[in-house]
Structure 1
Amino acid sequence: MNRTGLICRYLKENPHCTQRELAQKMDLSLGTVNTLLKECIQNKLLAPGKSVAGTCELTDKGLEFLQNFQVDGALIIAAGFGSRFVPLTFETPKGLLEVFGERMIERQIRQLHEAGVYDITIAVGYLKEKFEYLIDKYQVKLLYNPEYSCKNTLATIYRARKVLQGRNMYVLSSDNWIRDNMFHSHECGAWYASSYMKGDTSEWVLSYNKKGRITDIQIGGSDCWVMYGPVYFSREFSEKFLPLLEKAYHTPGTEQFYWEHILMQNIHHLEMDINRQPENQIYEFENLEELRQFDPRYQTRSDNKALELVSTVFQIPESDIHNIRCLKSGMTNKSFLFQVGERHYICRIPGPGSELLVNRRQEAAVYEAIRDLGISEHVVYLDSRTGYKISEYYEGSHNARANHPEEIKACMAILRKLHGSGLTVNHSFDIRERIDFYERLCMAGKGTLFEDYDSVREKMERLMNRLEHLDRPKTLSHIDSNPDNFICLPDGSVRLIDWEYAGMCDPLIDISMCAIYVYYTEEQMNQLAELYLERPADDEERMVIYSYAALGGFLWALWAIYKASLGEEFGEYTLIMYRYAKDYYKKADILWKQLFSSKENPDSI
C-alpha cells in the first residue's frame, strides 16, 4: 500500500484531519505519521496547515500525484446460481435479494456512487435478464458469462479481463452486504478485504507482514483473518495477475477454480495487501438460515412462492421450515429438500416453459389412479393447476443405478406391475401429437434445428405409421421411466416418481425411454428388455423398442431445442438424442423389413 498516497487521500477526503486521526485511520504510530507528513511536505505534495490542529493541506502537486490512484470503476460478479439459497434463488439471483428492504447489489452500487465511482460493469449469467433494469436505473453495463453454469469465478474474471486491464478497479460480489461505505474515489494499492474469524473456519486464511502485505493464503484455520468481501485491483496488480489468470484458464483442470486460486498460487510474486475490516462490517450470507437471523423479515415472509406454499400446506410459519437445500435440478423441474418437525420433504417447482410441456391435470389424474398400487412416492400436496408438488423424502434412499443389474431388475419389476395392473386413465401419451407439438414450439421459439432435419423427420413419420399399423395394446405407462426416477429405499423396495408424462401407451415405450436416457448400447437395451419381459424379446418387440428409442430420441431432441430457446442448455444431450433417432431408425427398419419380407413392398406400410 502506498502510504504517501493514503496520506494524500485522507487529507483530500477530510482536509481538517489531525495527525492523531490519520494515525488511527492508517493503523500507524503517531511518530510514523509525523515522518510521512514531513516527507510529503519536503516533496511539495503537502503544505503546512494554518489550523490550530496542525493539519496539512494538499498542494496542486499533491492532487496531481493522487490522480495515479483514482478508481476507474468496479466489476460486480453476479453470474452464479446461489444453490444454498434455494428456493429463493430459483426466482431471484442472490445479489437481488433484499436485506432490510434494499437489494444487496443496489446497496453496493449506491455506495460506489457515493464514493464517486460510476463506471460499473456487472458480470451476469444465471437469470441474466433479472439484472437488465439496472442499466436504466444506475447506467451500469452488463457482461454475460456463457460459462457460468459449468465453471467457477476464474472463468468470470477471465471473461471480464478487458474491463480490468490497465485500470484501477474494485471487484465485488453481488451477494455481499456492506454496512458502512468502505469505498473511496482513490485507492493506493491492491487489497483484499478481510474479517477476523474466531475459532475454526474453512474460509481462506491470510498471513501478512508488518506492512500489511499478504504473504500466504491457506484454506482453513483458527482465530485468523480471512478473505471476506470486496477486492481492489490496481492497474499494476492486474498487469501481473491477468496473464497468470489467462494461462490458468487455458489449462485443463482449472474449470472449478476460483480466481483466488491463482492469487494463492502466485502470492509471492504478486503484491496485494490485507484490508482489515471491523466486526459486523461485511456479511456473506451462507444460507437462508443466516439471512433469517440477520433480517427478521425472512423468518415470517420471504415473498417466495414455494416457501409460502409449504407454510400454507403444513400450517406453520416460514421460520419452522429448516434445513433447506437444493436437490439436483431435473430437466423439467427444480426441487429442494426441507424439514418440518422431524420429517423431510421435497418441494417440486415447475421449470420454465413446463406449463406448455406438461398437462398438470392429467398428471394429477395419474397419481389418483395409482394411489393404491404402492409403487409411487407419497404425495402430500399436488396443485393440478400450477404443478407445484410436495412429497415425502425417503431417508437413506438413492436413485437407481443404470450399471447395477439388481437395481435395474427391480425397476423393471415395478414397470411390469404398473403395466399389468389394468389401471387406466382418460388420456393417452400420443408420441405423434407430442412430436408435432414440440416441433411447433421450436419453430415459434426460433430454435435451431438440424441440417438434415427434414429427412430425419420423414423417417420418424414412417416409424409412427408402422407402429399404428401394428395396433398394439395400450396400458398405463410412465413414459419418463429413466433410472433417476426410480428410488431405491433402504428396505429394498423401489418407488417410481415423477409421473408428468404418464398416459395410456404401448408399454414397451417405457423400456425404450429408460434405455436412451442412460445412453444404453443396443446390447444393453436388449438386456433391459429381457429383464422386463423375463425372456428374450422377439423380433416384433425388438422392432417396437427400437422404434420408440428412435422416436424418443427425436422427441427429446426437440424438447431440448425448445428449452434452449428459453435459456436452458443441456450440453451434448441434444446431440445424443438426435443420434438415437437416426441410429435406431436404421435398426428398426431392418427388423421391419424382415418381419414383413413376405409383403411385396414392406416399406410402403
Structure 2
Amino acid sequence: MTNKNYKVKTLNDSFVLRFPGEGTEKIIDRKNEVANVKAISNNEIDVKTLYINEETGIKITKYIENDETLNNNTAKEDKNLKLVSELLLKLHNSKIEMGNEFNPFYEIKKYEDIIIKNRYEFYKGYDSIRNKVFKLKKDLDTNLVPSHNDTLPDNFIKDKSGKLYLIDWEYSGMNNRFWDLAAYSLESELLDLEEDRFLKYYLNREIEEKDRLNLLINKILQDILWSLWTIIKENEGVDYGPYGIDRYNRGIRNLEKYTKGLIYE
C-alpha cells in the first residue's frame, strides 16, 4: 500500500526491488528505517537486506523462492497464530535498541499537521473524536520494546522450510508491545476465540484485564492513525476505496466500548 515493489531476476538469483510510493517522504523517516533494519539484521527476523538508501528509500532484498505470504485466511490458522506470536515475542524480547520511538500520539499529530498544512479534509466529527483519543494516554502501558508497528498478514512471509520472516520496517521503533499484537488482530480480522488463542500463545499465560485494555487502546489508536494516513495518501492521488472511513468508524466504535468499560466485548 505504501510502495512499488518489483521482482528482479538475474542469471544467478532473484531479488525484490522497492521504490517509495507517492507522498511517502512526508510520512516515512528513512533514516530510522535504515538504522532499524541494520539493528535487526543479525536476529533472523527479517529477510536479508542487500541494499537500502536512506536518501532515496530504494531497497533491495533477497527474494524467497516458493514462499507463502500470509493472508486474512491463513493468518487465522492455529499454526500461523503460534508462529507469528513466537516471532513477535522474539522481536519484543530481543533487547534490540531502536533509536526512535513510534509514539502513536506524536504520529497522529504529525499526520494532522500534514492534513492542516495542505488543507485536506478530516473525516466528519474528527475534532470531538480526537479529544477522546488523546485521553487514552492515561491507561496505556508506558513500557516500550523494539516493535515493527505494521504487522498486517502480508508482511509475514514463510519459506519452504516453514521459517517465518517479518518484512517492511518503515514504521519500526520502540513502542508498547500490544501495538504489534493489536495490528495483527485487526488486519487479520481475528474472531474473539482466535484472538484469545493468539494472545495466550504470546503471553504464555492466561489473559488479564490489563492485557485486554492495552489491546483495545492500541486498536483504537491504530484505526484513527491509519485513517489519517489514508486521507494524506488519497490526496496524493492513491485510491483506497472505503479503507480509511471504515477504519475511522471502527475506531469510533471501539472508543465507545472503552468509554463504557466494555473491554471484553
Q: Name the structure 1 match of 2:240.
A: 570
Residue in structure 1 matched with residue 249 of structure 2 by the alignment: 579
User: Equivalent residue for 1:560?
Assistant: 230
Contact 1:445 1:562 (C-alpha < 8 Å) held by counterparts: no
TM-score where L is the length of structure 2? 0.93
Q: Tell me the equivalent position of 2:46.
A: 376
User: In 1, are the aligned partners of 2:76 and 2:188 still within 8 Å (CA)?
Assistant: no
- Closer, same or farther: CA 439–525 of 1 in aligned 2, 3 Å: farther
Contact 1:549 1:580 in 2 (8 A): no
For the residue of structure 2 that corresponds to 1:402, the secondary structure is: helix
Residue 337 of structure 1 contacts residue 346 of structure 1 at CA under 8 Å; is this kept in 2?
yes
Q: Displacement, 1:575?
A: 2.0
CA deviation profile, 1:451-482 (whole Å, cap 9, x unmatched): 22112111111112432xx4x31110010011
Distance 1:441 1:526, change over 3 A: farther
Displacement after TM superposition at 1:523 (Å): 4.6
Match of 2:190 in 1: 520
| Residue of structure 1 in register with 2:27 after alignment | 357
Structure 2 contact 76–194 (Cα < 8 Å) conserved: no
Instruction: Assess if the C-alpha contact under 8 Å between 1:516 and 1:577 holds in 2.
Output: no
Asked if structure 2 preserves the Cα contact closer than 8 Å seen for 1:483 and 1:514, the reply is: yes
In the alignment, does 2:114 pair up with 1:441? yes
Matched letter for residue 215 of structure 2? I
Pairing 1:457–2:149 present? no
What is the distance in 2 between the residues matched to 1:504 and 1:368?
15
Checking the alignment, whether the CA contact within 8 Å between 1:446 and 1:565 is kept in structure 2 is no
Contact 1:516 1:580 in 2 (8 A): no
Per-residue deviation, 1:522: 4.6
Amino acid at match of 1:534: N
DSSP 3-state at the match of 2:75: coil
Name the residue aligned to 1:480: 150
Instruction: Provide the secondary structure at the position in 1 that maps to 2:216.
Output: helix
**Alpha-carbon distance in structure 1 between the residues aligned to 2:215 and 2:82:** 17
1:407 to 80, 105, 117: 80
* Contact 2:69 2:158 survives alignment (8 Å): yes
Measure how far apart 1:537 and its partner are. 2.0
- Residue number in structure 1 paired with 2:259: 589
Aligned to 2:119, what secondary structure does the other structure show? coil
- One-letter amino acid matched to 2:148: H
**Pair 1:535 & 2:208 matched:** no
- Residues 212, 263 of structure 2: 8 Å contact kept: no
State the distance in 2 between where 1:524 and 1:441 align.
37
Query: Higher strand fraction: Structure 1 or Structure 2?
Result: 1
Answer whether contact 1:399 1:487 (CA < 8 A) is retained: yes
Find the aligned partners of 1:575 and 1:460 in 2 and give their Cα distance.
16
Q: Does 1:345 align with 2:15?
A: yes
CA distance in 2: counterparts of 1:481 and 1:510, whole angstroms: 6
| 8 Å CA contact retained: 1:379, 1:391 | yes
What amino acid does structure 2 have at the position aligned with 1:580? R
After TM superposition, give the deviation of residue 592 of structure 1 in Å: 8.7
1:395 partnered with 2:68? no
Tell me, what secondary structure is at the counterpart of 1:391?
A: strand
Aligned length: 261
Q: Distance in 2 between matches of 1:593 and 1:336?
A: 42
Shift of 1:590: 4.1
Secondary structure of 1:461's counterpart equals helix
**Equivalent position amino acid for 1:351 in 2:** G
State the 1:374 CA deviation: 0.8
Report Cα offsets for 1:82-115 as digits up to 9, x if no partner. Answer: xxxxxxxxxxxxxxxxxxxxxxxxxxxxxxxxxx
Percent sequence identity is 28
Cα contact 1:512–1:525 (8 A) shared by 2: no
- The 1:446/1:517 distance shift into structure 2, 3 A limit, reads farther
C-alpha contact (below 8 Å) 2:76/2:190 kept by paired residues: no
What RMSD over aligned residues (CA atoms) do the two structures have, in Å? 1.8
Alignment of 1:80-95 (within 5 A): none
Match of 2:93 in 1: 420
- Please list, as runs of the form range in 1=range in 2, the aligned pairs for 1:198-277 lying within 5 A after superposition: none
User: Displacement, 1:588?
Assistant: 3.0
Q: What is the rounded CA distance, in whole Å, between the counterparts of 1:551 and 1:512 in structure 2? A: 10
Matches within 5 A, 1:282-293: none
Q: Which has the higher helix share?
A: 2
Alignment of 1:63-74 (within 5 A): none
Distance 1:442 1:522, change over 3 A: farther
- Residue 466 of structure 1 aligns with an amino acid whose one-letter code is D
Q: Which amino acid aligns with 1:464?
A: K
Shift of 1:368: 1.2
Residues 374 and 512 from structure 1, CA distance in 2 versus in 1: closer, same or farther, beyond 3 angstroms?
same
What amino acid maps onto 1:518 in structure 2? Answer: S
Q: Kindly provide the amino acid, as one letter, of the partner of residue 412 in structure 1.
A: S
Aligned equivalents of 1:504, 1:545: Cα separation in 2: 17
Matched residues in 2 for 1:575 and 1:478: separation?
24
Alignment TM-score, normalising by the size of structure 1: 0.42
Partners of 2:123 and 2:245 within 8 A in 1: no
Aligned to 1:497: 167
- SS of 1:513's partner is helix
Distance 1:593 1:576, change over 3 A: closer
CA contact (8 A) 1:399 1:488 kept: yes
Structure 1 Cα separation of the partners of residues 14 and 228 of structure 2: 36
Q: Which amino acid aligns with 1:389?
A: K
CA shift at 1:565, angstroms?
Answer: 0.6
CA distance in 2, matches of 1:464, 1:349: 35
**Residues 113-143 of structure 1, C-alpha deviations (whole Å, 9 max, x = no match):** xxxxxxxxxxxxxxxxxxxxxxxxxxxxxxx
Q: Distance in 2 between matches of 1:500 and 1:515?
A: 20
State how far apart, in whole Å, the 2-side matches of 1:588 and 1:535 are.
24
Structure 2: how far apart are the matches of 1:510 and 1:557? 17
Q: Deviations over 1:340-380 (max 9, x none)?
A: 12311000110111111111111111111111101111111
Q: Deviation of residue 398 (structure 1)?
A: 1.4
